[in-house]
């Protein structure tokens, strides 16, 4: 590629980024176990999964023997056991969020329904893993490991049953119809419970042999709510129910099951105590699901990211080959480039690609964050238990005491080493509760942001990808199954909590002081990056981050034209768009950080030496494109919120900056030229310029206006980056054919 200024040829992308690049970007270059799991998932995805889709297995809602083979293939490839700890028969030690994220990513590269089938199994195990008693963990985690040769047992496969038929559990998980009561309670024996649960849209229910069901007490002898493990061999009704007539993810099984079963009280997830003759579950259903969704939602976000990135190669191939009919000769640009001769097609594909990169960067970061967070959370639980701190209120009190130390740690962490009190820093770093508080504040933002942005913006962007394939895009034989992926993305935006649920969580967590303190440092970090790497768009992003920060602080103290508080949980019109805006920023920032990592570490991998500079240059341009896009969103949203709730000044009286025409003349006779300054003028007969009212000038918003203006200027160069990236698309070498069937 030729630089317009110097005329020199600059390195650019030679081949599509391969595993070596991805391993550095997403930080598992030194994790061979994860690389292997990824390869295993890839072989399932591009083998049996792709063949099933190509053979039309998605055409039926039923769970067919062909689809069942998918489970066996995943068992054989070790994917079923990825979530399980080695002591229960798994093979990956330690936290497994990144491992599961990679599996979901690889499967969704071809078909996210297949990913959902594994995800739902993990979702069913998650309540037990997070909150189960040691006996429950041993039985169900161990049982979920596929039976080996010669082992005479059936593999346990689970379903997670929370959602209920309308008008019960959906987004709102408290309006619950599922019930639990005491069936028998003989003196000195374990109580037997009767559980009634009807589920709606329950994944895996078609073949599951156990289910974790959320239920509320229907009996004075049981307190509150809980989650209970049900098995198909329990006494009573176990009806997998009819399949959901869904339009998406057909390689997973979704049903509306009916369970009415008698189970021992030991199936209450996390156990129970008996207080004054009442069974008190150790965890309510919401406490269990909170712990579960925190992690599993990240994986869903990565499903959509994989779709976007998987669309790049088939679109490039389609575009290049589009005009080879008729007379064009090999070597002519019509023959070689086809639709790639058209700038819009290139620019739109760059948008798809940049969104995919940002989504993957955000999702994988969040998965890694949870890998760091998991042990901290367990240590926190242990410490609190040791100190006898029980219940949500007591915990909140304990953490209020830690907050100042956590803020101090954040401040020290962002100081240069030589400037900070290293003894104090090390002390705080070793304090598990402080570390928990700091990471908790991040995870409470990054998990919903990943789920919200990746799936919501991802689904919209998939539509763009489909458009780029023309009519082919909406046929079943579109290479890369892009049409199916578009529709599937909408499910990813819905299940495990639709976008509203994620925005609701962000409403609370993004104004946590511990999060905002970290966010403030990131603004400086982006400026520092920008001074070293101006082409990343980091400076633009920093300004957009400042704008967001100013706005969130403003909204929390400001009132609307009616004197109502602007920012609070019920005012979704204010808080939800701010959640969206933040998610754009986080995605873009993470994308930049990953590309810097590649630039930094890529040189150590001799395989990359050849193309590293070009790959980094291209990915940097994608960062710039995304930073500009994110900043645009933030500018639009913040401006609407800051101004939109104020009443527009009118011509009839409430205008401070208006002059009567006669006044103006009088002043102008004393101050020559005064009447040529841009003032609002009302004629003596009440006439005025043709517009809604005098232009807005709100005192106290100068900083906001200055930032908005600055942000516009910060966009300088972003389109040059897009042009460069677009040109790279015309030159990059792609394989001769897709490596999975259609």
Partner 1 sequence: MSNGYHIVVCGSLVPDPLQTLEPVMAPDGPGLKNEAMLPSVLDPWAAHALYEAAHLAKRVPDSKVWLASLGPKPKLQQLMMAVAQKAPFEFVAIDGSASGFADSFETAQALAKAIQSIPGLDRDRMLLFGGCSSASRDAGTTLSMVGALLGVEDQFLAVDEIEPDADGGFRVKERVEGAQYLVSRCAGAPAVLAWATGNLPEPPNNPQIGMANMRGILPALAKAPSVGALRGGLRFESVETPSQRRETRVVKDAGVEEIARELAEWIRG
Ligand X SMILES: Cc1cc2nc3c(=O)[nH]c(=O)nc-3n(C[C@H](O)[C@H](O)[C@H](O)COP(=O)(O)OP(=O)(O)OC[C@H]3O[C@@H](n4cnc5c(N)ncnc54)[C@H](O)[C@@H]3O)c2cc1C
Q: For residue 389, what are the contacts with CB-CB under 8 A and spacing of at least 6? A: 395, 398
Residue 161 contact partner, candidates partner 1, ligand X, none, CB within 5 to 8 A by sort of partner = ligand X
Q: Does 178 bind ligand X (CB under 6 A)?
A: no
- C-alpha distances in Å from residue 714, one per residue of 149, 708, 719: 63, 10, 12
Q: Does 249 bind ligand X (CB under 6 A)?
A: yes
Residue 245: phi and psi, rounded to 5, are -85, 60
Q: Does 632 bind ligand X (CB under 6 A)?
A: no
Q: Which of 30, 32, 416, 685 binds partner 1 (CB under 8 A)?
A: 32
Q: Which residues face 196 on adjacent strands? A: 179, 260
HEC string of 226-240 equals EEEEEECCCEEEEEE
Q: How far apart are CA 131 and CA 271, in angstroms?
A: 9
DSSP H stretches of helix in 493-566: 499-509, 513-532, 538-557
131 vs 249 by CB, closer to ligand X: 249
Q: Does 36 bind partner 1 (CB under 8 A)?
A: yes
* Contact yes or no for 235/261 (Cβ under 8 A): yes
Q: Does 706 bind ligand X (CB under 6 A)?
A: no
Q: Which of 161, 261, 302, 707 binds ligand X (CB under 6 A)?
A: 161
Instruction: Quote the Cα angle for 643-645-648, to 5°.
Output: 70
Q: What's the token pair of residue 394? A: 């007591």
245 vs 401 by CB, closer to ligand X: 245
Q: Which of 1, 11, 35, 155 binds partner 1 (CB under 8 A)?
A: 35
State the nearest-atom distance from the C-beta of 77 to partner 1, in Å.
5
**Residues 554 to 613 in contact with partner 1, rule: CB under 8 A:** 605-611
Q: How far apart are CA 146 and CA 152, in angstroms?
A: 11
Instruction: Quote the Cα angle for 513-516-517, to 5°.
Output: 85
Return the range that interacts with ligand X (CB under 6 A); candidates 150-158, 164-172, 224-232, 402-410.
164-172
Q: Does 162 bind ligand X (CB under 6 A)?
A: yes
Q: Does 247 bind ligand X (CB under 6 A)?
A: no
196 vs 621 by CB, closer to ligand X: 196
43 vs 64 by CB, closer to partner 1: 43
Residue written as tokens 């579950």? 281
Question: How many residues lie near ligand X (CB under 6 A)?
Answer: 23
Q: Does 733 bind partner 1 (CB under 8 A)?
A: yes
Q: For residue 254, what are the contacts with CB-CB under 8 A and spacing of at least 6? A: 201, 202, 203, 205, 206, 243, 244, 246
Q: For residue 468, what are the contacts with CB-CB under 8 A and spacing of at least 6? A: 315, 318, 319, 345, 348, 349, 352
Q: How far apart are CA 388 and CA 394, in angstroms?
A: 10
Q: How far apart are CA 437 and CA 416, in angstroms?
A: 22
Q: How far apart are CA 608 and CA 21, in angstroms?
A: 8
Q: What's the token pair of residue 331? A: 């070597």
Residue 162 contact partner, candidates ligand X, partner 1, none, CB within 5 to 8 A by sort of partner = ligand X
135 vs 172 by CB, closer to ligand X: 172
Residue 249 contact partner, candidates partner 1, ligand X, none, CB within 5 to 8 A by sort of partner = ligand X
Q: Which of 497, 614, 635, 649 binds ligand X (CB under 6 A)?
A: 497
Q: Does 94 bind partner 1 (CB under 8 A)?
A: no
* Contact yes or no for 265/191 (Cβ under 8 A): yes
Q: Does 39 bind partner 1 (CB under 8 A)?
A: yes
Return the range that interacts with ligand X (CB under 6 A); candidates 93-101, 158-166, 622-630, 689-697.
158-166
C-alpha torsion angle, residues 285, 290, 295, 298 (rounded to 10): 110
Residue 173 contact partner, candidates ligand X, partner 1, none, CB within 5 to 8 A by sort of partner = none
Q: Which of 163, 366, 450, 638 binds ligand X (CB under 6 A)?
A: 163
Return the range that interacts with partner 1 (CB under 8 A); candidates 33-41, 54-62, 545-553, 656-664.
33-41
5 vs 9 by CB, closer to partner 1: 9
State the nearest-atom distance from the C-beta of 608 to partner 1, in Å.
8
DSSP string, 11-52: P---B---HHHHHHHTT-TT-HHHHHHHHHHHHHIIIIIHHH
SS3 147: coil
* Contact yes or no for 458/304 (Cβ under 8 A): yes
State the nearest-atom distance from the C-beta of 481 to partner 1, in Å.
18
Residue written as tokens 């069942």? 68
143 vs 611 by CB, closer to partner 1: 611
Residue 321 CB-density burial (10 A; 0-12 exposed, 13-18 middle, 19+ buried): middle
**Residues 63 to 82 in contact with partner 1, rule: CB under 8 A:** 73, 76-78, 81
State the nearest-atom distance from the C-beta of 35 to partner 1, in Å.
4
Of the candidates 252, 176, 185, 250, the residue with the CA atom closest to the CA atom of residue 218? 176
Residue 491 contact partner, candidates ligand X, partner 1, none, CB within 5 to 8 A by sort of partner = ligand X
Q: How many residues does the chain have?
A: 742
DSSP H stretches of helix in 387-498: 391-413, 422-429, 432-449, 455-467, 482-492
42 vs 629 by CB, closer to partner 1: 42
34 vs 213 by CB, closer to ligand X: 213
Residue 20 contact partner, candidates ligand X, partner 1, none, CB within 5 to 8 A by sort of partner = partner 1
Q: Which of 1, 11, 15, 494 binds partner 1 (CB under 8 A)?
A: 15
* 455-467 vs 343-386: helix crossing angle, rounded to 10: 160
Q: What's the token pair of residue 550? A: 């100013």
State the nearest-atom distance from the C-beta of 643 to ligand X, in Å.
24
Residue 203 contact partner, candidates partner 1, ligand X, none, CB within 5 to 8 A by sort of partner = ligand X
The long-range contacts involving 50-55, CB below 8 angstroms and separated by at least 24 positions, are 50/110, 50/111, 50/740, 50/741, 50/742, 51/741, 52/111, 52/114, 52/251, 53/110, 53/111, 53/251, 53/481, 53/484, 53/742, 54/741, 54/742
State the nearest-atom distance from the C-beta of 52 to ligand X, in Å.
17
Q: Does 731 bind partner 1 (CB under 8 A)?
A: no
Q: What sign has the CA pseudo-torsion 337, 343, 347, 348?
A: negative
Q: Which of 661, 664, 681, 734 binds partner 1 (CB under 8 A)?
A: 734
Return the range that interacts with partner 1 (CB under 8 A); candidates 40-48, 351-359, 372-380, 447-455.
40-48
Q: Does 117 bind ligand X (CB under 6 A)?
A: no
Q: How far apart are CA 357 and CA 350, in angstroms?
A: 10
First and final C-alpha spacing in the chain: 34
Q: Which of 495, 550, 645, 659 binds ligand X (CB under 6 A)?
A: 495
Q: Does 1 bind partner 1 (CB under 8 A)?
A: no
Q: Which of 1, 11, 43, 334 binds partner 1 (CB under 8 A)?
A: 43
Q: Does 281 bind ligand X (CB under 6 A)?
A: no
Residue 729 host element (H or E) = helix 718-731
162 vs 438 by CB, closer to ligand X: 162
Q: Which of 89, 165, 170, 224 binds ligand X (CB under 6 A)?
A: 170
What are the residues binding partner 1 (CB under 8 A)? Answer: 14-15, 18-20, 32-33, 35-40, 43-44, 73, 76-78, 81, 91, 605-611, 733-739
What are the residues binding ligand X (CB under 6 A)? Answer: 120, 160-163, 170-172, 201-203, 246, 249, 254, 491, 494-498, 500, 504, 572
């Amino acid at each position: 590629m030729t630089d317009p200024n110097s005329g020199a040829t600059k390195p650019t992308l030679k081949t599509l980024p391969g595993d070596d690049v991805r391993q550095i970007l997403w930080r598992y270059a030194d994790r061979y176990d994860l690389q292997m799991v990824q390869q295993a998932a890839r072989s399932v995805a591009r083998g049996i999964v792709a063949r099933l889709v190509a053979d039309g297995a998605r055409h039926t809602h039923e769970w067919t023997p062909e689809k069942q083979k998918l489970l066996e293939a995943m068992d054989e490839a070790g994917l079923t056991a990825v979530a399980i700890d080695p002591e229960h028969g798994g093979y990956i030690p330690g936290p497994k969020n990144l491992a599961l994220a990679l599996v979901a990513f690889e499967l969704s590269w071809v078909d996210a329904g297949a990913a959902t089938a594994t995800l739902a199994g993990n979702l069913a195990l998650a309540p037990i893993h997070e909150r189960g008693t040691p006996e429950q963990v041993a039985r169900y985690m161990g049982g979920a490991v596929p039976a080996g040769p010669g082992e005479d047992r059936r593999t346990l496969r689970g379903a997670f049953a929370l959602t209920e038929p309308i008008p019960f559990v959906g987004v709102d998980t408290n309006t619950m119809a599922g019930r639990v009561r005491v069936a028998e309670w003989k003196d000195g024996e374990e109580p037997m419970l009767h559980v009634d649960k009807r589920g709606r849209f329950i994944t895996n229910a078609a073949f599951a042999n156990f289910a974790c069901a959320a239920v509320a007490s229907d009996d004075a002898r049981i307190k509150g709510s809980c989650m209970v493990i049900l098995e198909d061999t329990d006494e009573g009704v176990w009806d997998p129910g009819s399949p959901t007539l869904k339009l998406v993810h057909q390689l997973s099984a979704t049903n509306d099951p009916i369970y009415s079963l008698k189970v021992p009280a030991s199936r209450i997830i996390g156990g129970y105590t008996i207080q004054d003759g009442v069974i008190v579950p150790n965890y309510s259903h919401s406490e269990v699901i909170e712990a579960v969704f925190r992690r599993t939602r990240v994986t869903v976000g990565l499903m959509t990211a994989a779709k976007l990135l998987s669309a790049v190669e088939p679109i490039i191939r389609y575009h290049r080959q589009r005009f080879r009919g008729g007379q064009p000769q090999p070597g002519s640009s019509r023959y070689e480039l086809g639709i790639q001769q058209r700038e819009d097609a290139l620019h739109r594909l760059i948008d798809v690609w940049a969104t995919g990169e940002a989504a993957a960067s955000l999702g994988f970061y969040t998965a890694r964050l949870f890998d760091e967070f998991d042990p901290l959370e367990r240590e926190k639980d242990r410490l609190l238990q040791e100190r006898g701190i029980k219940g949500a209120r007591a915990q909140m009190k304990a953490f209020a005491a830690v907050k100042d130390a956590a803020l101090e740690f954040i401040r020290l962490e962002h100081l240069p080493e030589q400037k900070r009190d290293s003894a104090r820093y090390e002390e705080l770093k070793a304090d598990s509760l402080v570390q928990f508080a700091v990471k908790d504040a991040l995870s409470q933002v990054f998990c919903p942001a990943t789920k919200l942005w990746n799936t919501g913006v991802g689904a919209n962007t998939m539509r763009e990808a489909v458009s780029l394939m023309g009519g082919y895009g909406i046929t079943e034989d579109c290479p890369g199954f892009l049409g199916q992926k578009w529709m599937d993305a909408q499910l990813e935006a819905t299940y495990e909590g639709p976008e509203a649920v994620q925005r609701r969580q962000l409403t609370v967590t993004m104004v946590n002081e511990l999060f905002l303190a970290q966010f403030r440092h990131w603004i400086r970090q982006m400026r520092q990056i920008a001074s070293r790497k101006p082409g990343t768009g980091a400076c633009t992003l920093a300004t957009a981050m400042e704008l967001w920060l100013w706005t969130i602080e403003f909204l929390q103290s400001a009132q609307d034209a009616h004197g109502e508080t602007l920012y609070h949980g019920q005012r979704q019109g204010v808080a939800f768009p701010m959640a969206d805006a933040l998610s754009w920023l986080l995605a873009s920032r993470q994308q930049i950080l990953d590309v810097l990592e590649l630039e930094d570490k890529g040189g150590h991998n001799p395989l990359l030496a050849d193309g590293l500079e070009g790959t980094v240059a291209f990915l940097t341009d994608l960062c710039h494109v995304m930073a500009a896009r994110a900043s645009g969103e933030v500018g639009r949203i913040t401006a609407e919120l800051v101004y939109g709730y104020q009443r527009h000044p009118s011509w009839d009286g409430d205008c401070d900056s208006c002059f009567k025409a006669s006044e103006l003349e009088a002043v102008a006779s004393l101050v020559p030229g005064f009447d040529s300054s841009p003032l609002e003028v009302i004629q003596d007969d009440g006439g005025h310029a043709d517009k809604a009212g005098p232009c807005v000038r709100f005192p106290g918003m100068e900083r906001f206006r200055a930032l908005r203006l600055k942000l516009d200027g910060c966009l300088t160069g972003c389109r040059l980056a897009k042009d460069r990236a677009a040109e790279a698309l015309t030159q990059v070498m792609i394989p001769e054919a897709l490596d999975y069937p259609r």
